[in-house]
Structure 1
Amino acid sequence: MAVVGLAGLTVGTATVLSQPAQAATAGLVRVDQAGFGTGEVKQAYLMTGAAVSGATFSVVDSSGATVLTGKVGAASLGKWNAAYPDVYPITFTSLKTPGTYHIKVAGNASATSPSFKITSTDALYGKLVADGVTFFQTQRDGSDVIAGSLKRQPSHLHDASATVYAWPRFASGDSDTITSSDLTKSGGPVDVSGGWFDAGDYLKFTNNEAFGAITLFAAQRALGSAAPPSLATEAHFGESWLDKAWDEKTKTLVLQVGIGSGNSAGTFYGDHDLWRLPQKDDGDTAKADRYAAAHRPVFLAAGPGGRISPNLAGRVAAAFALAAQIDASGNPKQAAAEYQAAASVYALADTDTPPSPLTTALPNSYYPEAIWHDAMELGATELALAAQKLGHSPATYLSQAATYAKDYIASDAGDTFNLYDNSALAHADLIKAMAAAGDPSGLAVTPAVLTADLKRQVQSAAAKAKADIFHAGGDYTNFDVNAHTFGFLTTQALYRQASGDRSFDAFATEQRDWLLGGNPWGVAFMVGEGSTFPHCLQHQVANLAGSLDGTGAVPTGAVMNGPNNPDNFAGGLGDFQDGMKKCPANGADPYNAFTGHTSRFADDVRSWQTDEPALDMTGSAVLGAAMQEALGG
């Protein structure tokens, strides 16, 4: 009789045992969830828990049809962490037909990617620009708020009649605790209503407001008629607050509105001690909250006519001068006033004896800036461009901008465009201002020198990206990696404009890919892009008025700090603050499994280290996306 054995085939009366099929290794596919331009290099990443060989992939469209097949890269790009020792490339550049797709991996590995689109670069980057502007709208303070999906309401109306105080004293080190027993009045009232909240809190910093306006105006200028109407409106909204912060008559500049923390004696609190919706502050009558909520203090950058820290003066001047360039053709009277404001602030820059540390915020540790030649180069350059549009001589500003550029290149070389380093935009615009002036001789730098420094900034990041498993050009072991990485999009585009060199186009695409899901965590670090993005931001309005589970309103366009060194989590995430909605509700940290290469990301409302969005980060995204859109990707 025939005998059937376990996992065997019966042939006559003999049993032949077959080899068991090898189980497929479960993996994860990381891909840019926003999608790709039709002509771009397209790559995803397969993360696996063990080495695999011979894996294949299929690209499947929204109807379920397979439109492309191929082999997963045979060689691992490297080890991410112990759980994912192998990462393999999936290249599908030949896919060019617009549509919505996902990737399926088969063979001895199994995985399915989130969906993504193939579309035009205009549509791809245009959405990022529009969404970034939406976040700026979410950050509005004062009476002219935009309700939006988070149902914003007017807030801090008492800022219209605020008291000016002397700078408080802070505890040693990087502490933001005030040691003064009370604040000392020095002037006022002043109208500082409106403007944008800086981050997840409700403080307003002139330095950061200026940077926000710079990025929006520069984005509007780059896009021209293709700019969404909301971009021009929002840029001028920010500039209108700067116009309140700068008093042309007394030559005084507001530094900030509000304090972060209270004093060591516990007799008054700061903004960070409260967790609430901003519209609650005007009605807060608690004595300890007097500076945190209802009657927020104002601090000046310097006394009337006093010298202003050059990083701050240069940046504010650049914002006004950019506004003047935008308004020169349609509203010359306003442009003239903006040009005058830019020139006045710029003239007060203390470049002979700059303060140490530079003046950024109170305390400086909130935004510890180290260089200033870049900001002064930008201020002088934008003044030169504004002068050319308004019929004034740009010669003095061109000369000064070139000198500051030379000083920057000699001693301040940073990494890319961001809040702390504005040189890329300054260099590129200085090249344009020189050309418009007929390329005068005798300046401290030449267009070739400026172009070479732009290349240096891009090339440095591109070299790092080439060696990185996920082609990241930024430092994801340190703060602000997302802002810096969006800055690469700006710097690469500016360099390409100046040189015509397209050799870094693929690098720019890789940086966007990393930001929007092609990273170890599989997260888009800009809210609203793709299917997986943070929902537990350290952002009071989002936490209290938004959706915590992804089914409702979110702070669209918000860009948060991003992955950070695990050492910054040494003390844990801490307790939930009074008033916070717990997020995640179950306290789980699904992203900790992907901690690797000295980098961790946590989507938790307590995680200021990774999950707090800010104006400068989102402004960097808006300008980077606009510059890429202007170049057609």
Structure 2
Amino acid sequence: MKPNRLLTLCIALMGFIVMQGQSTSWIRINQLGYLPQSIKVAVFISQEKNNITYFEVKDVKSNISVFKGEGIAANAKRWSMQKALRLNFSQLNTDGEYYIECDGVKSPVFKINTNVYDGAADFLLNYMRQQRCGYNPYLDAECHQHDGFIVDHPTRTGEAIDVRGGWHDASDYLQYLPTSANATFQMLFAWQKTPDKTIFKDKYNALGKEGQNGIPDILDEIRWGLEWMIKMNPDSAIMFNQIADDRDHASMRLPSKDHVDYGWGEGTGRPVYFITGNPQGLGQYKNRTTGVSSSAGKFASAFALGADIFKDIDPTFASALKNKAQPAYSFAEIVIGNTQTACLKSPYFYEEDNYVDDIELAAAVKYNLTNDESWLKKADYWGQLEEITPWMELGRARHYQFYPFVNLGHYYLSQSNDKNIKDKYSKYMGNGLNCLLKRANENDDPFLFGIPFIWCSNNLVAAAVTHARLYNETSGDDTYLEMEAALRDWLFGCNPWGTAMICGFPEGGDYPSKPHSFVSELLHDIPYGGLVDGPIYKSIYENLRGIHLRYEDSYAPFQFGPAVYHDDPGDYSSNEPTMDGTASLSFYLSTMEKIGKDQKKNNVKDSQGATVQIGTDRKVIHLIFSADSAFEGAPSILKTLDKNKIKASFFFTGNYLRMKEHEQIIKKIINSGHYVGGHSDKHLLYAPWDDRQNSLVTKDSLINDLNQNLKELSKFSIDIDKSVYFLPPYEWYNKENVRWIESQGQTVINFTPCIKTAADYTTPDMKNYRSSEELIDQLFVFEKENGLNGSIVLIHPGTHPTRTDKLYLRLDEIILKLKKKGYSFERL
């Protein structure tokens, strides 16, 4: 460190301590809050050393201690502190507002609630709209209407081309295909995984102005990106990689008043760089491009997934995207290599070196959508060439050297029907996370942080939490859940600086309010929703050109670790929002909101991911009945339900629905207001009884069977969009089956484990035969010991003739006894 910089920081540190009332210890928390059922770890850091490790969590209103624990010591010196503790209070899962006390220090107030992530994913879109080029809804003004002029083309250099649209990359007005395509794909992926209009709302129109248009805002934003990408790929082998270059870095200005002269007159058009597959640069500095694959692969994956997402929304637009996806992929395989962005007057550019991940993703998306084995073969060929995204394994990278920062192709392949492929790519994903955890543990980092502090480190954090969430989902392995929580919490304030990393979020928190942005500099506003670059190695920071802090450093005491962070417009290295980093959080935050909604319902899932209790906070029971062929008990069941004024839920196979003799009873069930849902079409056995984790059906065959079942239900005028619960045939399935079903918008349910009423199918000749008396006795023993709040109780309405002891004939007795215990009954 240079002596003058050290002196400056020491003076700032002294001033900060005085300003803070001699504060020398701090507790860092996730300012957004915590879901009740989640890992919760705060971090205590101090400039003083003692042996106190005890901490308490207290209720804000009463100041009563609700949790007591012992902190776990970590390497305080990593952040130039004398003491550091990890304060784990995961066992506290009661809704409320709390603060932590440790060694005489209080944390900021935080919430534990199921709704802490509500609106978070949609909030990011504020920044995406603010970054729009062509028409900017934030300014309500047009910009860059003369884009642009082709450069570096063998025959068309200087030719005008219409490439208006897309997003500005960050707080400058450059536009890059790699970041824009990745941002588009990340939002597509978020919607593919969570196509939920209660999470992704419709508050803005296609132009990004307030007012509904019937389309979720994330789809409007995705389309804005895709339409620009079509312009940047006007023909099969004609692709453009960027608009403008570093001549853009002229001054802080409004995009609508961008008068930079690129050689065609002030503000009259910008260069549009043709993808040549060779090193590029119109001036002194050249990039190290070797081919077209990285950019062409990004075009191909976004076009393919976009075509699928928009096929029912706008078939014409979807067809245009589909027609471009295959040629883009073919071009990626013709001129193998990476395409980097171009610079002119400085040596800074996006140094993307890898490309196999982009080709893998494009092929994996096609495989995921079509189940075509030829695409699986292609994806696997490219995927195994880069088992771990290099920055994860190496712990280092040059600027955007390994991009995208998360390899979603590995995730798609982990969903393969081929068990060997599925296991291989799940293992690759786990190995990548293990590299991060190993680094965090080697440093004994108090924040469990193993990510390198290269430029845009927050983008790497967003990639890592996405990777961790998907790995847990696909493997069920909980090894990395605490690290995932630590990285998530880092973005919301559980970091040395105690600040969130998203501009203006969470409301009332400590967040970037003076970022490097025209919005804050010229309009004195906040670029709401923008994820800033994040902490950067001091060694990088000190050697960057043009950084001059403009304000007193409010985070001065925390700048003595391996990285620095400043909420200051003069620090473009750590405090500049980026469009692609922001979009990359779409999946994760929407997933967290979805998890919160599940927890809000007080639902419980089994080990395979099926919902087995709904509403555990209430004395409510859900009676369900399933039928494939036999349903002789229908009259008795319906009479009993009607007598007790109870609505229940019925699940039918296509086999049953097609039987003409059952038509009237099905209509009676529907007209009586009972829930009716699917139970498969052909009553397939999804998994072996003795080897549950190996599927007996392919994803394609299961989904086809499911859709046929829903088609049969629709013939009875059942609204399939509202028939969202599905009971698997034989009530037997595995994690993979559940994922496939729920990818179709269905929620898999099953009876509550340990309730044995579903054994009413057994017959006297079976070893596992259970009489109705035994089943009823077991039900009430279970109720006495565990309660039945939110339980799902299955009774078969039809059984083999040799079982004369029909449990459904004793339904009235069961209901009356449970009512006396205070239970009510609800349909799903």
- TM-score, with length taken from structure 1: 0.78
Matched to 2:142, the amino acid is: P
CA RMSD of aligned residues (A): 3.2
Aligned partner of 1:32 among 30, 33, 58: 30
When residues 56 and 25 of structure 1 are mapped into structure 2, their CA distance, relative to the original with a 3 A threshold, is farther
Paired residues for 1:544-559 under 5 Å: 544-547=522-525, 554-559=526-531
When residues 426 and 194 of structure 1 are mapped into structure 2, their CA distance, relative to the original with a 3 A threshold, is same
Partner of 1:92: 89
Q: Distance in 2 between matches of 1:536 and 1:202?
A: 19
Q: Distance in 1 between matches of 2:234 and 2:217?
A: 27
Partner of 2:275: 301
Partner of 1:11: none
Deviations 1:263-297 (A, max 9, x none): xxxxxxx210121111112xx4x767857744212
Partner SS for 2:305: helix
Partner of 1:43: 41
Q: Does 2:473 align with 1:497?
A: yes
| 2:226–2:303 contact (8 Å) kept in structure 1 | yes
Aligned partner of 1:317 among 279, 284, 300: 300
Q: Distance in 2 between matches of 1:292 and 1:462?
A: 51
Deviations 1:106-159 (A, max 9, x none): xxx332222222122xx334433112222111111112x322xxx453322222
Q: Distance in 2 between matches of 1:470 and 1:65?
A: 27
Partner SS for 1:590: coil
Shift of 1:519: 0.8
Q: Does 2:536 align with 1:536?
A: no
Partner of 1:271: 248
Q: Distance in 2 between matches of 1:242 and 1:487?
A: 23
Matched to 2:439, the amino acid is: K
Aligned partner of 1:119 among 113, 118, 122: 113
Shift of 1:354: 2.4
| 1:489–1:625 contact (8 Å) kept in structure 2 | no
Shift of 1:310: 0.5
Partner SS for 1:446: helix
Shift of 1:245: 1.1
Shift of 1:544: 1.4
Q: Distance in 2 between matches of 1:518 and 1:455?
A: 24
Matched to 2:318, the amino acid is: A
Partner SS for 2:239: strand
Partner SS for 2:321: helix
Greater CA radius of gyration, 1 or 2? Answer: 2
Shift of 1:573: 7.4
Shift of 1:542: 3.0
When residues 294 and 539 of structure 1 are mapped into structure 2, their CA distance, relative to the original with a 3 A threshold, is farther
Partner of 2:752: none
Q: Distance in 2 between matches of 1:98 and 1:411?
A: 38
Q: Which moved more, 1:407-416 or 1:205-214?
A: 407-416
Deviations 1:574-615 (A, max 9, x none): 476xxxxxx75xx21122321233211122212122111212
Paired residues for 1:170-569 under 5 Å: 186-225=157-196, 226-228=198-200, 229-248=216-235, 251-260=237-246, 270-281=247-258, 284=259, 293-302=267-276, 309-350=292-333, 353-354=336-337, 358-362=339-343, 365-387=348-370, 394-409=372-387, 414-415=392-393, 420-421=403-404, 424-432=407-415, 434-435=416-417, 439=418, 446-467=421-442, 468-530=444-506, 531-547=509-525, 554-569=526-541
Q: Distance in 1 between matches of 2:263 and 2:104?
A: 56
Deviations 1:178-232 (A, max 9, x none): xxxxxx9714321111110101111111111100101000001111125402212
Q: Which moved more, 1:207-216 or 1:500-509?
A: 500-509
- Work out which structure has the larger RCO, using CA pairs closer than 8 Å and 6 or more positions apart in sequence: 1
Partner SS for 2:98: strand
Q: Distance in 1 between matches of 2:34 and 2:173?
A: 36
Structure 2: runs of 5 or more not aligned:
1-20, 201-215, 278-289, 600-828
Partner SS for 1:298: strand
Paired residues for 1:150-165 under 5 Å: 151=139, 153-159=141-147, 162-165=148-151
Q: Distance in 2 between matches of 1:353 and 1:141?
A: 31
Shift of 1:251: 3.6
Q: How many residues align structurally?
A: 539
Aligned partner of 1:608 among 572, 575, 581: 572
Paired residues for 1:567-586 under 5 Å: 567-570=539-542, 574=546, 584=550
When residues 165 and 31 of structure 1 are mapped into structure 2, their CA distance, relative to the original with a 3 A threshold, is same
Partner of 2:785: none
When residues 397 and 603 of structure 1 are mapped into structure 2, their CA distance, relative to the original with a 3 A threshold, is same
| 1:476–1:562 contact (8 Å) kept in structure 2 | no
Q: Which moved more, 1:409-418 or 1:58-67?
A: 409-418
Aligned partner of 2:121 among 129, 138, 142: 129
Partner of 2:134: 142
When residues 276 and 74 of structure 1 are mapped into structure 2, their CA distance, relative to the original with a 3 A threshold, is closer
When residues 24 and 408 of structure 1 are mapped into structure 2, their CA distance, relative to the original with a 3 A threshold, is closer
- TM-score, with length taken from structure 2: 0.60
Partner SS for 1:79: helix
